[in-house]
Each structure stands twice: as C-alpha cells, then as structure tokens.
Amino acid sequence: MQIKHFIYTFLALFTSIASWAQFQFRAEVSSQSVGLNQMIEVRFIMNDNGTNYKFPSFEGFEVLRVIDINNTYIVNRDVRKESGNAFVLRPLTKGNLTIGSASVEFEGKIYKTQPITIEVGDPVQQKPQRHQRRRDPFARFMEEMEEDFNRRRQQQMEMQQNLGEGIHLVAKISKNDVYANEPLTVEYGLYISYQSGFNTLGIKQLPKYENFWNHSIDQKELQVKEATLNGKVYRYLTLQKAVLLPQKDGTLKIDPMEVEIEEQFYTGRVDVFGISEIGLRKKTYSSGAKTITVKPLPLDNQPEGFAGAVGSYTFTVDADKTILKANEPLALSVTVQGKGNLDLLTLPTPIVPNALELYDPEKINRVTKNMSSGMQGTKTEKYIIVPQYKGTYTIEPLTFSYFDINSKSYKTITTEPITVEVTEDPDLPTNETKTDKAEIVSKQDMQPLDKNIEWFNGNFVTENNSYYVWWLAPLLLLPVMFFVKNQSNKNNQNTEGKRLKATNKLAKKYLSEAKSQIGQKEAFYEALERCMHNYLKARLKIETSEMSNDTITGLLNQHQVAPTDIATFMQIKTTCEMARYAQMDIQTMQNDYELAAQLIHSIDKQLKK
Amino acid sequence: MKNYWILFWTLLFCGLATAQNNEALFSEGMTAFDKKDYETSANIFSQLMQRDSLNATLHYNLGTSYLRLQNTGLSIYHLQKALKFRPDYEQARINLNFAEKLKTTVSKGNLPIPQQQMLYSVFDFLKPNTWAYLALGTMFTGIGLLLFYLFNHNATTKKILFSIGMFAIGISILSYFISKNQSNYLLEHHYVIVTQKETLLMHEPRVISKVLQNITEGSKGLIKEETNQWIRIQLENDTIGWVEKSKVMKY
C-alpha cells in the first residue's frame, strides 16, 4: 500500500521532471502513514500560474493552516518558479483517509493531481522520522533540495514537540518549617528554556498571603539570568519576591500565582527561506499552592513583657546628655538592632518620674527587606524629655525580650538605669505673683536632715498598765470612804433607836386609847388625862382614886423623878384641863401626844432605877 | 504599789541608757548623710526606727535619705508618716513635695479624711501623754474634793465641793478618752503607700480576678477593709479595689 503510494508520488515527480518545460501540477504529502496525534503537510505545487484553482475538501482532516508557496529556483542558469499551497492537516479519525485531487486550469487545459490515501494509526510517541530517499539518478539536485527540506521539517517537528515544555513557573520558599513571627521569603520565578520564548506576560492571579504579614520586595528592573532546573539550563526571570511573617501557628497555605503567557510556538509553516514560522498562543501557568508548617513560640519560660519579637537583636537606650538645666530638652533613644520581625515588634516605653515631662516619640525605622535575611536593620524611638524642676532623677532600666531563632530560646536584655541631674531651676516668672502656698514650697530647695530629736515621744503612758493603777486607785478610794462614813453613822443611830422603840412600846400600852381619839378635841384630851393617870397608877401601884396635883408631885418626888419631867407632867395635865374650853387643832394634839409618850418613857427609865 | 515604783524606775533607767546609745547612732547617721553616703544613713535611721517607731524626726530623716536615694515609695511613706505624727512639720512637707515628683504617674483628686483623724486634729493642741497626765491630775483633785465633801457638815460647802469634785472626775474621764483616741490614731493605720514598682488593683481579694487598674509606686490609698493577705483601698481617683498586703505599706 505504502509502496503503491510512493510509486504514485514517484511517477508524479518523474513525469514532472521528464516533461520539464511543460506545465506541471503535483501533490505531495509529508507522510502517508501517521498517528492520530501527528500532523501531515499536503502541498499542491505547479510550475506556472494556473487559474481556476480548486482544492479537495480534506474530509476526515482538520485544516490547521494554509500556507502560500512561492518559490524560485535557479538550476543550470534556468529560472524555475514554483507556486501553490501547503496545508497542514491533522487527522480526525483512524483508518485510511483519502485526500482528493486538486485541479487547475492552464491554457484552457485542466490538470488534476492524483488522490492520496493516508493511513492513520494509533497515536504514537513521535520519533524523528527519516524521510525515504528517492533513488533518482536523474535528479540529484532535487535530491539535495529534498534533503534540505526534509531536514528542516524534521527539526521543525521536533521543536513543535518541545514547545510548552520549556516554560516553568516555580515558587521558592526559604523555609518550610518556621516559628510564628519568624521571617521567611518567597520568590516566584519563570524558567524559560532556550528552545522557547514568549511575547507578553500577564499576571492573572497574585498570591494572597492569608495569615501572613507580607512585604513585597520591589525590583528595579527585570533581569534575566541563567539558572538550572532539574539539571537543565534555563533562562530565569524573577516575577515577585516577598518577605512573609506567619501570624498564626499551624499549617498555613500560600495561594498559587497564576500567569498568562502569550508564548511562541512553531506554526509548521516555513517561509521563503525554509525557516519555520512562529505563531503565538495563550497559555496559563500556575506555581501550585505551597504549605508551611508554623510552630508556635514556646509558652514556658516566656519572659514578662515579651512583645512578640522574634529574631536576633541588640537593644540599647541612650540619652544625649545627663547633666542639664530645667526646661532644657533631652533626647532619649530606645533602639533595637538586628534581624527578625522588626516591622512588627513594639519597643518598651521608658518610665520617668513626673518631674521629667515625656513627649511622644519620634519613630525612626531603618529596615531593609531582602531575600537573604528577611528583615534587617534598626528601629528607634526617640523621646524628648524636658525636666521641670531641679534635682536628680532616675530613668528606670528598660527590658526587651525576644525569641532567639538560633538557640530556640527566649532572651532578655536589660539596660542600665540612666541618672539625670538637673542643676538649675527654671527662672520664676516675675510678672506673676504666686500666692499659692504649695507653689512657693515647691520652689524651695530640698530640706536637710533634722537634728532636733525628741526621743520616745511616741511612747504613750496610756499603753502602760501602771497608768491605770494610778488613775483608777483614787476612784476605788471613794467607795471605801463612803463605806467608812456610813458605818460611823450607823453606830450613832443605834442608842437613839432603842429609846424610840421603848417609847413606842409604852405609848402603845398606855396611850393607845388617846391615840385613837386624835382629831376629836374633847375626847382626846379626856382620854389623854385618863391614860396618864392609869400609867401612874400602874407604875406606882397606888389604889387611890383621888389624883390631885399635889399627890402626884409628891409621889413622883418620892420616886426621885427629875423635876423637869414633873413640870412637863403638870403642863400636860393643865393642857388637858384647859382644852375643854380652848380651841385646839390636830397638829397640837399630835404634839401633845408625842410629848406625853416621851414623858412616859423618861419617867419609866427613872422609876426603874 | 511598791512593785510599780520599781518598774517605773527601771523603765526610766533603761530608757536613759538606750537613749544615750541612740544619740550616738543618730549622729552617726547624720554624718553619713553629710558625706552623701545615703545608703548608710538610711540603714542607721531604719535601725533607730525599730526602737522608736513613732518618732516624727526619725521618719523625716529616713524619708529624706530615701529621697536622696531616689526610692520613691519608701521616701513618700516615711515623709507622710512624719507628717502624721507632726502635722505642722514644714520641712517634711517640702521634701514630700520633692518625693511626689519622683512618681511616674500623677494622681488627681483627694482622699476622704477619716473621722478619727478629724477628732485628732481637734485635740492636737495637747500631746496624747499630756492628756493622760491631765486625766491623772484631775482625777486626784476630784477625789480629794469628794473626800472633803464627805467629812464636811456645812450644807453649802458640801454642795460646792460635791459639784466641783464630780466635774473634775468628769474632766478626767474625758481627757483619758481623748488621750486614748490620740494615741490610737497614731498607732492605727489609715492609709497605704504602694512601695512596689507597679502593682494591680483587683476587683476581688484573689490572685485571679478582674484587674481594675495598674497602680504605680508612691500612690496613696485609704484603707477600707483588711483580710489576712489583702487590703481593700480607695485610691485618689475614687476607685475602690483590693491590693496584696506585701505590695504596700500602711501608715
């Protein structure tokens, strides 16, 4: 089959050469047996300008490209022209496909090419095809020409093969395993082999660095370098560089970068000089997503005041002067220098006495971001301090802690305290008269020590128990004295009491009749007189009913009764007789009764002797 | 009674002996201060302080030494204490003003004055011991007058003696209580001074609790309540919360 077609081709060629001066119209195919994935080229060539050019319909094929052919050869001083068309075809189905004949009209005559049958087999791994040499002893020059053509076509086929394999978009990450806040770098680059090229490049999707703090490093110009990838040499172009700081621990994903490239490829057509034509097509490349493992910073031994600094640093606090006058400014610089997450760390704030006025700091950042170290440089906060009063003040030491990546441990730097001596007070405003006492006091100098000491003025006598003895003893004395006084009073009253008791007893015995009559004048005095008589009769044991004054006085004298008592007795007796005719009130009766009672008592005592 | 006399004399004697010793130490502290060796002078004065803890002069000298050493908390504490024992101590007031300038934060507002302090300032014209001796004296006079009253027979003199005697005893009891109030005020603590660089004001007396505020060295607070380890204080900005006892000093 193959041979048969070759013969056709051969015959066509042969006849064309043989009928040299005549009009020729021929069809050529690059291969009569192709795989489904391969392409063939069909050429229709004539050696003069024909008209009414008709092409077959190429059923079962897809026409990829139509190329005009316009070649001029000079052979043995003869100028030969060839014109026609070449079709790049791709088979659509397997099996034997036939390319129909093309026709052209020349000087009223119609020329036709032979139909060509092409065998389409399974898709094949393409290998370089050796073109069959034709053994034509008469056309050696043609042979050379054909060979040259075939060589070029072969080269071109290989190139087509390589197209698309020559470009790679790669993301390079400095570290896959980092601590949170540890800087890492990412670089997106395009590897282009020497066999390929592109015209334009558009970035379709930039990576979004989620959960990362990022800073992209600006490139001044795009530079093409030479680099190797998988053992092959490529041209290399950096697209984007960035410094990343992971803000979260865990496994973090970096989105891929996508780039749309208008790349060059060989169309399969050859130009006049047999050089393959280059076409353009758009293709999208992706760098692929990358994952990074972020370890959290260790929690144990984390120093107090750790503010998230990771890297390796030095920390300094400087004052531009330490001896100054009040109201003179002083600059205090707090500086961190080193490698690490400089942009993200916070510097400690100095603590100063309130006599030093502290103003908001000026922030000076000199941080460079590069691929070798991530971030590097110095970060400074410059505070302006204005002392208000004279004196010596201390600015407390500052501490700065960071996590050291190299030793994987926390480190703390503590600075020295800074002593500021303010030598002069500010001038007092003269136009203002301050009356505030506190203000005047504050302008005075610090007072020296006090030499006048009064020892133990804090020992309170009330804290001592003996004080209470001294204080309460007199109070105890008071009840004692009362008691003593009371006791003596009691003794005095004792004798009188007995007498009173006896009087009452006697009065009850003899004067009860009279007592019941108190208030009724006549009855009372009659009873009183009778009672007195009864008493005497009872005490002196006399039986006589005659009780004259004389007999009574005589009797009483006999018994040695005191003359005053006898007089009193007589007085009562007279009162009793007088009372029958005179006005008497209750008070007088009472008095007389008591007088009588006392008298009886007194006489009784004397009679007993 | 005789025992107390012995006790009294021995106390007086011991007092005199230590006083001489203290005098030497005191002048040593003064010379150390003059030589600008403030550390030593502060040490000496705090030693003396342990023997005579309510001495305004010692507190003043110690506070001034700490002021020179730039120890904010302790200098404010001792100068405040000197002013408590002697409210008209002008030098202490001046130096306290300097000490206040060492504080890192300025507090605004005033603390309320406790009732005991107001009473103290009313009766401050006499010292607590003078009040105590006054109580003793009036007690003796009162009792003497009452004895006279007991053994007197004239009714009018009796009346006069009795009323004057009772009045004197009343005065005695009153001045005793005044003396007690004055000394108690001086012995008891009403305020705190923060002596740590920085401490936290908590909502509750626990280590894990809501933090109300950061308080810095030298801040003053009024004591409201006390437990074993915590004190509830009112700050000058009227915030009330708990602080750890170890972080503050009471006065």
**Rounded average pLDDT over A498-517:** 72
Three-state DSSP state, A499:
helix
Nearest-10 Cα torsion for B141, B147, B149, B154: -120
Enumerate residues 6+ apart whose C-beta is below 8 A from B15.
A456
Contact flag B104-A444 (C-beta cutoff 8 Å): no
In a domain, B109, yes or no: no
Read off the amino acid at residue A307. A
This prediction has a pTM of: 0.52
Q: Within this chain, do residues B226 and B202 fall inside the same structural domain, yes or no? A: yes
B96-135 pLDDT, tens digit per residue, is: 888 888 888 877 778 888 888 888 888 888 888 889 999 9
Q: Which range among A87-101, A382-396, A429-443, B27-41 has the greatest average pLDDT?
A: B27-41
Q: Within this chain, do residues B25 and B85 fall inside the same structural domain, yes or no? A: yes
Q: Within this chain, do residues B92 and B19 fall inside the same structural domain, yes or no? A: yes
In a domain, B111, yes or no: no
Q: Within this chain, do residues B86 and B9 fall inside the same structural domain, yes or no? A: yes
Show residues of chain B in contact with A355, CB under 8 Å.
101-102
Three-state DSSP state, B99:
helix
State how far the Cα of A197 lies from the Cα of A175, in Å rounded to an integer.
31
Task: Give the domain-ending residue among B47, B68, B100.
Answer: B100
- Cβ distance A506 to A607 under 8 Å? no
Show residues of chain B in contact with A487, CB under 8 Å.
none
Confidence of residue A437 (pLDDT cuts 50, 70, 90): very low
Q: Within this chain, do residues B182 and B235 fall inside the same structural domain, yes or no? A: no
Task: Give the domain-ending residue among B68, B100, B132.
Answer: B100
In a domain, B107, yes or no: no
Q: What is the CATH number of the domain that holds B51?
A: 1.25.40.10
A12-41 pLDDT, tens digit per residue, is: 555 544 444 577 788 888 777 887 777 888
Query: What is the structure's pLDDT at A436?
Result: 46
Tell me what ipTM this predicted complex has: 0.74
Which two tokens mark A30?
A: 């690059």
Parallel, antiparallel, or unpaired for β A95-99 and A116-121? Answer: antiparallel
| A 333-372 residues with CB < 8 A to B | 351-355
Confidence of residue B77 (pLDDT cuts 50, 70, 90): very high
Query: What is the structure's pLDDT at A546?
Result: 66
More confident residue, A159 or B223: B223
Structural domains counted in chain B: 3
Separation in Å, CA of A434 to nearest CA in chain B: 17
**Rounded average pLDDT over A491-502:** 69
- Expressed as residue numbers, the domain containing B176 is 118-187
Q: Is the pLDDT of residue A440 over 60?
A: no
Q: Within this chain, do residues B176 and B218 fall inside the same structural domain, yes or no? A: no
A242-297 pLDDT, tens digit per residue, is: 888 888 888 888 878 888 887 777 666 666 776 667 777 777 888 878 888 888 88
Confidence of residue A346 (pLDDT cuts 50, 70, 90): confident
Q: Within this chain, do residues B57 and B146 fall inside the same structural domain, yes or no? A: no
Residue A279 burial by Cβ neighbours in a 10 Å radius (0-12, 13-18, 19+): middle
In a domain, B106, yes or no: no
State how far the Cα of A397 lies from the Cα of A380, in Å rounded to an integer.
17
Using CB atoms, which residue from A450, A454, A455 is nearest to B60? A450
State how far the Cα of B32 lies from the Cα of B42, in Å rounded to an integer.
9
Contact flag A454-B169 (C-beta cutoff 8 Å): no
More confident residue, B6 or A144: A144
Task: Give the domain-ending residue among B52, B67, B100.
Answer: B100
* DSSP label of A444: S
Measured CA to CA in angstroms, residue A358 lies from A330, A400, B105 at distances of 10, 20, 11
Q: Within this chain, do residues B66 and B85 fall inside the same structural domain, yes or no? A: yes
Q: Within this chain, do residues B183 and B208 fall inside the same structural domain, yes or no? A: no
CA angle A205, A206, A210 (to 5 degrees): 120
Enumerate residues 6+ apart whose C-beta is below 8 A from A464.
none
B22-38 pLDDT, tens digit per residue, is: 888 888 888 888 888 88
Q: Within this chain, do residues B210 and B164 fall inside the same structural domain, yes or no? A: no
State how far the Cα of A470 lies from the Cα of A240, in Å rounded to an integer.
99
In a domain, B40, yes or no: yes
- Cβ distance A13 to A26 under 8 Å? yes
In a domain, B93, yes or no: yes
Which two tokens mark B173?
A: 């009891």
Q: Within this chain, do residues B6 and B96 fall inside the same structural domain, yes or no? A: yes
Which two tokens mark A274?
A: 């047999």
Confidence of residue B147 (pLDDT cuts 50, 70, 90): confident
Confidence of residue A433 (pLDDT cuts 50, 70, 90): very low
Tell which residue, A74, A78, A16, A18, has the closest CA to residue A43: A16
Q: What is the CATH number of the domain that holds B241?
A: 2.30.30.40
Q: Is the pLDDT of residue B46 over 70?
A: yes
State how far the Cα of A106 lies from the Cα of A111, in Å rounded to an integer.
7
Q: Within this chain, do residues B56 and B144 fall inside the same structural domain, yes or no? A: no
- Cβ distance A187 to A241 under 8 Å? yes
Q: Is the pLDDT of residue B209 over 70?
A: yes
Which two tokens mark A135?
A: 């053994």
State how far the Cα of A480 lies from the Cα of A491, in Å rounded to an integer.
17
In a domain, B158, yes or no: yes
Using CB atoms, which residue from A462, A469, A478 is nearest to B4? A469
